[in-house]
Amino acid sequence: MNAAPQAVPSKPDFITALRRELHHYPEPAWMEYRTTCRVVELLTALGIPVRYGSAIHSRPHMYGLPSPAADEAALERARQEGCDGALLAAMAGGYTGCVATIDGAHPGRTLAVRVDLDCNTLPESLDADRLPVREGFASCHDGFMHACGHDGHTAIGLALAAQLWDHRQELHGQVRIIFQPAEEGLGGGTSMVEAGVLDGVDILLGSHISMGLAPVGTVAAGTHGFLASTKMDVLIHGRGAHAGVCPEEGRNALAAAAAAVTNLLAISRSGQGASRINVGSLVSKAGRNVIPPEAALSLETRGATDEINRYMEDAALRVIDAAAQMYGCTVEHRIMGRGDCTDSTPELAERVMEILRRIPGVKEILPSFNFRASEDITTMMRRVQTQGGQATELIFGAEIAAPHHSERFDFDEAVLPLAVRVLTELALSLN
C-alpha cells in the first residue's frame, strides 16, 4: 500500500502526511475500503485492539448502500491500491469503518470519540494555485473528493489513538475511538448505534474542522442548531409508448416527477422552526419520441426538530404520491439516510471549556456553535444521552480555501496537531 511515512503517528509531520495520503485516495459512503484498511493497519501496528466488519454494523440500518456492481468496483480498486485481501473480505458488502478500544490502567467510565471517514461525490478542482495540486495530493479518484475535512478527522483519530495508547498508564476507564463510515448520507451513525457500538458509553466527543469557524486556535466546546434530516430516493414507474402514434397508451413518469418537484418545493414551511426541502436530482433517460416509463428523484428534508422534519417528510411523500396518481403512475421510495436533532449536553460543554482554558494553542473558546446543518453524530449523541450519558461536538476553527462541499475546499493543516492535543487532554481529564 502507498503509505505515509512510518513515523510516530502523533507527530505533526506524520499527521499532515497521513491527512494528505487520505485526501489523495478519497472514498464515498460504504466504499471506504482503502481508508479503513489503512486505519486498521496503523492501529494493529501500534498493538491497539480494533474491531471491524459486520460486527460493528446493523445491516437493516445501513442506509444508502451502493449497488453490488459499485461495491465490487470499489473493492477491486482497493485491491489494486494494495489493501490486504483478508481485511477486504471481512468488509465486503459495505462493512467499512472500525472501532479501536484502549483500556486505561485505572478504573473509570467509558468515553468514546467519533471521527468520520467518507468523502464527497464531486470532482476536485485541479487549479494550479491550490495546495493539494501544488503538493501533489489532489484526488486520484475521478468524481470523488474530500471536501468536508473528513480526511483530517481520520488523521486526528489515528493520532489520538497513538497518544492515548502511549499514555494508557495514566488513563482511567476505557476509550473507544469510532471510525465511522457514511456520514455524508446520514447512514453510518444509525448502523453503528443499532449494532451496539455506543452501548455503555458514558461520554461521547465528536468534532468537526471549521464549518466556517476560524482561525486555528478558536474552539467551540459544544454545538446547537443541528437539523434533523431524512434523505430519500424516489422511483416513479409509468408506461412507455410512442409519443406520436399512441401517446394515450403511455403513462408519463417524467411528467409526474416534474409535477412532484414543483410541488415539493412549494410545501408550506413550518411556523414552529426552521424547515428545509431540496431536490438534488431528477433523471429520466427516454428518447425525445418516447413517453418516459421511469423517472428518479433524490431529495432531502430537514427540520429544527424531529417533529418538524417528520412534517416535511410526510408532506413530501403525500405530494409525490399525488403527482404519480395524477399521471397514472406508481411510486416506490427508499430511505437513504436519517439524522436526529439534539444539542450538546450543557454540563459536559462547560467542563470541556474548563479544560480548554489550560491547553496551549487554544486562543479563543466559544461555549457553543450554531451548526445549521445535519450530521449523524447526533444519532450517536442521542443514544448516549438517552442511556444517561453526556455528549458534545467540538468545532475546531480553521481557515478554509472555499466553502465545505465545494471543489476548491481545503483547510489550514495547523488545526490537526491542535485537535489531537485537545482531544487527548479531554480523554485523560474527563474520566
pLDDT digits (tens, 9 = 90+) for 105-141: 999 999 999 999 999 999 999 999 999 999 999 999 9
pLDDT, tens digit (0-9, with 9 covering 90-100), for 143-178: 999 999 999 999 999 999 999 999 999 999 999 999
**179 lies in which domain range?**
12-226+342-429
Does residue 253 sit in the same domain as residue 105? Answer: no
In a domain, 5, yes or no: no
Q: Note the pLDDT of residue 93.
A: 96
CB 162 within 8 A of CB 129: no
Task: Look at residue 187 in the predicted model and tell me its pLDDT.
Answer: 84
pLDDT for position 13? 82
Q: Are residues 289 and 169 located together in one domain of the fold?
A: no
C-alpha span between 393 and 188 (Å, rounded): 17
What residues pair up with 230 in beta bridges, in sequence order? 301, 338
Does 360 fall in a domain? yes
Q: pLDDT tens track of the chain, all 431 residues?
A: 644 444 446 566 889 999 999 999 999 999 999 999 999 999 999 999 999 999 999 999 998 899 999 999 999 999 999 999 999 999 999 999 999 999 999 999 999 999 999 999 999 999 999 999 999 999 999 999 999 999 999 999 999 999 999 999 999 999 999 999 999 988 899 999 999 999 999 999 999 999 999 999 999 999 998 889 999 999 999 999 999 999 999 999 999 999 999 999 999 999 999 999 999 999 999 999 999 999 999 999 999 999 999 999 999 999 999 999 999 999 999 988 888 888 999 999 999 999 999 999 999 999 999 988 888 899 999 999 999 999 999 999 999 999 999 999 999 999 999 999 999 999 999 97
Evaluate whether residue 365 is within a structural domain: yes
Pairing of strands 218-220, 364-366: parallel
Contacts of 300 (CB under 8 A, 6+ apart): 229, 230, 231, 232, 276, 277, 278, 280
Question: 296 and 349 share a domain?
Answer: no
CATH number for position 162: 3.40.630.10
Order the strands of the 106-116 sheet from edge to edge: 50-52, 98-103, 172-180, 106-116, 203-209, 390-396, 218-220, 364-366
* Residue 105 grid cell: 490502567
Whether residues 148 and 285 fall in one domain: no
Residue 411 DSSP label:
B
160 and 205 assigned to the same domain:
yes
Same domain, 246 and 117: no
**Are residue 281 and residue 410 in the same domain, yes or no?**
no
pLDDT on residue 64? 87
Chosen domain end from 323, 338, 353: 338
Q: How many domains does the chain have?
A: 2
Confidence (pLDDT) at 295 = 97
Q: Which long-range contacts (CB under 8 A, 24 or more apart) does 269-273 make?
A: 270/303, 270/308, 270/311, 270/312, 272/304, 272/305, 272/307, 272/308, 273/303, 273/304, 273/305, 273/308
Nine-digit cell at 389? 450519558
Q: Does one domain contain both 252 and 147?
A: no
Chosen domain end from 278, 306, 338: 338
Model pLDDT, residue 339: 83
pLDDT value at position 11? 67
